[in-house]
């Protein structure tokens, strides 16, 4: 079935550092791709998404580009803040248009030190 | 205030006991989902429902049961057959249509006494 693979954490960076969290996917066709963020003790929130190849999703200074050539959707941010500390999940629809939910990667725990 | 309400936030289960986790939404979404989150394993789908009075098993349905009698509600029962129930349980909803995002509740932490 369709799946995503994320880099394992924790990833520890200093404030204002450049961030990359790798995500690659295996899928039939070209599904929509998502990044979700989870702050401690909370549910997940959509961070950004891209619905077709070469699309760039962006939000709150984070960006990810849908690369079909490399089947990747890496998350980047130019200058991280302590408030970005959270767990980040890459995801894609389980099947088809996603009516039966999303498949998530295992999550990457990001720790930003002041 | 629109959203998804999960209750309780913390729940403890005794050996051999069934417990029910509540999920209520006022977003008017047709589809609802239950995920289980374990440290280092990401989220795994337990059950989902695309419409009232209908639901399907996800990837790890054994030891769980659900009902969908109302559009707003999708309770999850963790039965005594689930031998390792300790986890963080997340309820989500989705609007109709392709490529729509999931909205998540704030979760219930279930622990075994």
For B19-31, write each residue's pLDDT tens digit.
999 999 999 999 9
Q: SS3 for A36? A: strand
Distances in whole angstroms, Cα of residue B30 to Cα of each of A97, B6, B48, B53, B100 = 15, 17, 11, 11, 12
Do A81 and A52 touch, CB atoms closer than 8 A? no
Q: Is the pLDDT of residue A96 over 70?
A: no
Q: Is the pLDDT of residue A39 over 90?
A: yes
Contact with chain B for residue A57, Cβ under 8 A: no
Q: What is the CA radius of gyration of chain A?
A: 14
Q: Is the pLDDT of residue A71 over 90?
A: yes
pLDDT at B86: 95
Determine, for residues A101 and B50 on separate chains, whether the beta-carbon distance falls below 8 Å: no
Q: For chain B, give the percent of residues with pLDDT over 90.
A: 81
Spell out which residues of chain B touch residue A43, defining contact as CB-CB under 8 Å: 4, 6, 90, 92, 104-107
- Give the C-alpha separation, A78 to A61, whole Å: 7
Query: Closest residue of B to A43, CA-based?
Result: B106
Using CB atoms, pick whichever of B42, B101, B105 lies closest to residue A107: B42
Using CB atoms, pick whichever of B6, B40, B42 lies closest to residue A104: B42
Average pLDDT of the segment spanning A5-22: 95
Which band of pLDDT confidence, cut at 50, 70 and 90, is reported for residue A48? very high
Spell out which residues of chain A touch residue B33, defining contact as CB-CB under 8 Å: 101
**Residue A24 CB partners (closer than 8 Å, separation 6+):** A4, A5, A70, A71, A72, A73
Which band of pLDDT confidence, cut at 50, 70 and 90, is reported for residue A9? confident
Q: Which two tokens stand for residue B92?
A: 């989500």
pLDDT at B2: 64
Q: Which two tokens stand for residue B27?
A: 């977003």
Q: Which two tokens stand for residue A76?
A: 């980047």
Name the average pLDDT for chain B. 93
Q: Is the pLDDT of residue A46 over 90?
A: yes
Query: Among A70-74, B61-65, B94-98, whose mean pLDDT is lowest?
Result: B94-98
pLDDT at B1: 54
- Give the C-alpha separation, B38 to B40, whole Å: 6
Average pLDDT of the segment spanning B69-92: 95
Q: Is the pLDDT of residue B99 over 90?
A: no
């Amino acid at each position: 079935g369709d799946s995503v693979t994320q880099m394992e954490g924790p990833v520890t960076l200093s404030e204002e550092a450049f961030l990359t969290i790798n995500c690659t996917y295996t899928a039939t066709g070209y599904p929509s791709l998502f990044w979700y963020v989870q702050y401690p003790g909370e549910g997940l929130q959509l961070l950004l998404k891209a619905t077709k190849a070469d699309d760039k999703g962006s939000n709150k200074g984070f960006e990810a580009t849908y690369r079909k050539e490399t089947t990747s959707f890496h998350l980047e941010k130019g200058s991280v803040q302590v408030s970005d500390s959270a767990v980040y999940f890459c995801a894609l629809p389980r099947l088809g248009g996603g009516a039966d939910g999303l498949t998530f990667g295992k999550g990457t725990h990001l720790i930003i030190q002041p | 205030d629109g959203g998804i309400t999960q209750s309780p936030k913390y729940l403890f289960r005794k050996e051999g006991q069934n417990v029910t986790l509540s999920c209520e939404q006022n977003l008017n979404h047709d589809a609802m989902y239950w995920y289980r989150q374990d440290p280092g394993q990401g989220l795994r789908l337990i059950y989902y429902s695309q419409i009232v009075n209908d639901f399907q098993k996800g990837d790890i349905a054994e030891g769980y049961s659900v009902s969908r009698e109302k559009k707003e509600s999708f309770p999850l029962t963790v039965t005594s057959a689930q031998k390792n129930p300790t986890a963080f349980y997340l309820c989500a909803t989705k609007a109709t249509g392709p490529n729509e995002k999931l909205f998540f509740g704030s979760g219930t932490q279930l622990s075994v006494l």
